[in-house]
Structure 1
Amino acid sequence: MEGKITPDEKKWVVLCPVYINSEKTIAEGRRICAEKACESPTCAEIGDCCTYLKLNFAVENDKAYPRDFMQRGRVRVCLKKEDGTPCNPAIPSRKQLMLYVAELVPRHPGRTKKQEPTSTTSTGASKSGKGGKKKR
């Protein structure tokens, strides 16, 4: 759903990835608490979450968040129908949308799970003692 936005889409709420990025501070643009935010979300992941939540959306790749203009892209999401009723009753507000999307992004199938580093040192051949030079 990329491309030029229609006049109806101008009324949709804007969701920048910075809003739900746990690596950013409030001053840098994060809008939900860091514990509920997710790590480095992308516009594509946010769009897939909107599809999962059965919400209409449009990705704008030519736009950027002013405080972080190097990261391009934002997502416009339709929260309310023409008559003012919510498209998804579980998501009545912009804040709820951010919380739901931040919860869904880490479970996105495109994300690779980071494996914990395994120790490669052998425990049997380790030296005991302080090491270093012996005093005479």
Structure 2
Amino acid sequence: MNGELANIKKWVVFYPVYINSKKTVAEGRRISTAKACENPTCAEISDCCNHLKLVNAIEIDKAYPRDFMQRGRVRVQLRKEDGTLCNPAISSRKQLMLHVAELVPRHPGRNKKQEAPSSSSTSTAGTSQSKKGGRKKR
């Protein structure tokens, strides 16, 4: 197990804030807002890395230095011990961020959460409020 921990230290560190479209570059975002996704979690990033066939480990006790209230980071193995790439399509940290940011919005857990409440609440809330407001003013 001690050898495993030494290997993890060499893996790439991936904080969710790196691909969060809600954050600014000063707050830690590392890719453009057009390619970033909204509020990714460590679990979603880990699942996306698994989908890309990359070995990863979630470190839930770690925090991003600029925003220490946001807990968790993911360690990802880009290269094997002999230096060869684990996934030939991803050769750098930046490519990893872009691939994961593309996959997170299509995450199965995320689709259910965002689509159902946003579509139903906006359509019903907008029409009912405008009607009520109109009656009171008359």
TM > 0.5: yes
Higher helix share: 2
Larger Rg: 1
Q: CA deviation at 1:113?
A: 2.8
- Aligned residue type for 2:123: T
| Alpha-carbon distance in structure 2 between the residues aligned to 1:67 and 1:82 | 31
Q: How does 1:58-73 map onto structure 2 within 5 Å?
A: 58-73=57-72
1:89 alignment partner AA: P
SS where residue 54 of structure 2 aligns? coil
- Corresponding position of 1:22: 21
Q: TM-score, normalised by structure 1?
A: 0.84
Distance of 2:114 and 2:61 partners within structure 1: 29
The match for 2:74 is 75
CA distance in 2, matches of 1:113, 1:40: 12
Question: C-alpha distance in 2, partners of 1:36/1:104?
Answer: 11
SS of match in other structure, 1:8: helix
Q: Distance in 1 between matches of 2:67 and 2:22?
A: 13
Q: Which residue of 2 aligns with 1:91?
A: 90
Cα distance, 1:82 vs structure 2: 1.2
AA aligned to 2:54 is L
CA distance in 1, matches of 2:123, 2:20: 28
Task: Read off the aligned partner of 2:105 and give its amino acid letter.
Answer: P
| Structure 2 equivalent of residue 113 of structure 1 | 114
Residue 83 of structure 1 and its aligned partner are, at CA, apart by: 1.4
Q: Partners of 2:91 and 2:85 in 1: how far apart?
A: 6
Q: Which runs of 4+ in 1 moved over 2 A?
A: 113-116
Secondary structure of the structure 2 residue equivalent to 1:7: helix
**Separation in 2, partners of 1:46, 1:20:** 10
Instruction: Give 1:91 shift.
Output: 0.5
Give 2:72's aligned amino acid.
G
What is the CA–CA distance in structure 2 between the aligned matches of 1:40 and 1:51, rounded to whole Å? 19
* Number of residue pairs the alignment of both structures matches: 126
Q: What letter is aligned with 2:97?
A: M
Partner letter of residue 14 of structure 1?
V
5+ residue gaps, structure 2, are none
Distance of 2:58 and 2:90 partners within structure 1: 19
Distance (Å, rounded) in 1 between the aligned partners of 2:44 and 2:123: 29
Structure 1 residue 118: deviation in Å? Answer: 1.0
